[in-house]
Homo-oligomer: A and B are copies of this chain.
Amino acid sequence: MEASDVGADVTKLLEELSRFGKDPDGGVTRLLYDSAWKKAQRFVASAMHDAGLEVTFDEIGNVYGKLAGADEAAPSILTGSHIDTVRSGGHYDGALGVAAGIAALSRLKTKYGIPRRSLEVVSFCEEEGSRFPLAYWGSGNVTGSKDFEGALDARDSEGITLREAMFEAGFDPESFRQSKRRDIGAFVELHIEQGEVLHRGGYDIGIVGAIFGQRRYLVEVHGRSGHAGTTPMDIREDALAACAEMIVWMRRTARETGDGLVATVGKLEVTPNVANVIPGIVRFTLDIRHSDERALDGFCELTIRAFSLIAKEMGVLVTADCWLSELPSPMNDELSKAISNVCDHIGLSKLPISSGAGHDAGLFANVCPTAMIFVPSRDGISHSPEEYTSPEQMACGTEVLTELLYTLAYLEEAT
């Protein structure tokens, strides 16, 4: 197998795929079940077909391309990612994993013929949560690991329900639970890093140890608004000043905690937000992530306690509503070791890394042995038209994926 060949295949597939949903600014917008999405997923199906794979759409619009193994009863080795995007997203997030999976299976079939165990590549219908207020509609249903009770009634920004959008796209909303699979033996996902650790360090490959767990909070600080000129400093109940103390505390404590923990206030809104009025109310978001569940819980509890103390000192009230809590997803050690061996074998530099972003692989981690391979993102930029990974870097990732799948499906005994 020549790396340059699979690399060229992936680059070509990605270029073709990026035509669907192309924005004037060079970005790509493909939202679940919209017109660009439909064309893209049909294109993926035809590319799978051209690669000599058996193509099937499931109940919700995930597309599978299968290279059936000699042992029909053995669970499949699955690779892939998603083809939906954020609004004005990049060309690589998700799409790379789908294109690389197709290229890998195509190459393996051509070179080695029928594997011992079935190999499949999947293009998940949805991962980003860009259209409806839910995410992982693809992998969450396939693994059965998300509670999608009531999800069909979710509405997009134009008021269209998921049920309507799904029906419109030609799928049967009521049968979404039938897309669950129980015959997956392992899942491997190739993805861009979306951070700049590999880019800064000049590494070819990141081997993901865990996908961060995360907690999201909406914090509200209620003080008392007043005239900026006539209210002495010592009787103020300034919601923004209190919130500044909270942000300073959290950042410093997160840095002291270290061990990869990240804590962010990304969104903040002040009321009434007038130059000469002391802020009465501030609402802000917390996004806290870590690879270890206990460390994540500990930091979150510490933060909420500290916020309460700061609020008390500053004479304001604070509430923190945790509206999202996702457990960390540790990847499979043996698979990660196998990826490491492949890198050594090919001669690629590699780095153990955590994934701060969520991925489809996270949904599989509790269901079957799961691994993730990262390739660098230029300057760590993602979810943007500026997202970029070079053809050479994609070729390295695809080569690692192909070798790993070869090992898993052709060399190992089905268990």
**A binding-site residues for B, Cβ under 8 Å:** 193-197, 200, 212, 214, 216, 226-235, 238, 240-241, 243-248, 251, 254-255, 258, 260-270, 273-279, 285, 287, 289, 355-358, 380-383
**Once the chains bind, are A234 and B214 in contact (CB under 8 Å)?**
no
**Once the chains bind, are B270 and A268 in contact (CB under 8 Å)?**
yes
Q: Assuming the A-B contacts A226-B380, A380-B231, are A266 and B278 also in contact, with contact meaning beta carbons closer than 8 angstroms in the complex?
A: yes
Interface of A is mostly: mixed
Q: In the assembly, what is the distance between CA of A383 and CA of B285, in Å?
A: 30
Closest Cβ of chain B: how far from A64's Cβ, in Å?
28
Of all chain B residues, the one with the shortest Cβ separation from A268 is B270
**Once the chains bind, are B276 and A195 in contact (CB under 8 Å)?**
no
**Once the chains bind, are B261 and A251 in contact (CB under 8 Å)?**
no
Partner of A285, one of B214, B234, B275: B275
CB-CB < 8 A to A244: which residues of B? Answer: 243-248, 251, 265
Q: In the assembly, what is the distance between CA of A10 and CA of B178, in Å?
A: 78
CB-CB < 8 A to A212: which residues of B? Answer: 229
**Once the chains bind, are B227 and A382 in contact (CB under 8 Å)?**
yes
CB-CB < 8 A to A238: which residues of B? Answer: 251, 264
Q: In the assembly, what is the distance between CA of A241 and CA of B249, in Å?
A: 10
Q: Assuming the A-B contacts A197-B232, A227-B382, A234-B255, are A266 and B276 also in contact, with contact meaning beta carbons closer than 8 angstroms in the complex?
A: yes
Q: In the assembly, what is the distance between CA of A380 and CA of B230, in Å?
A: 8
**Once the chains bind, are A254 and B229 in contact (CB under 8 Å)?**
no
Closest Cβ of chain B: how far from A373's Cβ, in Å?
15
Partner of A380, one of B227, B265, B276, B285: B227
**Once the chains bind, are B287 and A228 in contact (CB under 8 Å)?**
yes
Closest Cβ of chain B: how far from A327's Cβ, in Å?
14
CB-CB < 8 A to A263: which residues of B? Answer: 233
Q: Assuming the A-B contacts A234-B255, A240-B247, A255-B234, are A266 and B274 also in contact, with contact meaning beta carbons closer than 8 angstroms in the complex?
A: yes
Closest Cβ of chain B: how far from A250's Cβ, in Å?
9
**Once the chains bind, are B382 and A262 in contact (CB under 8 Å)?**
no
CB-CB < 8 A to A279: which residues of B? Answer: 265-266, 268
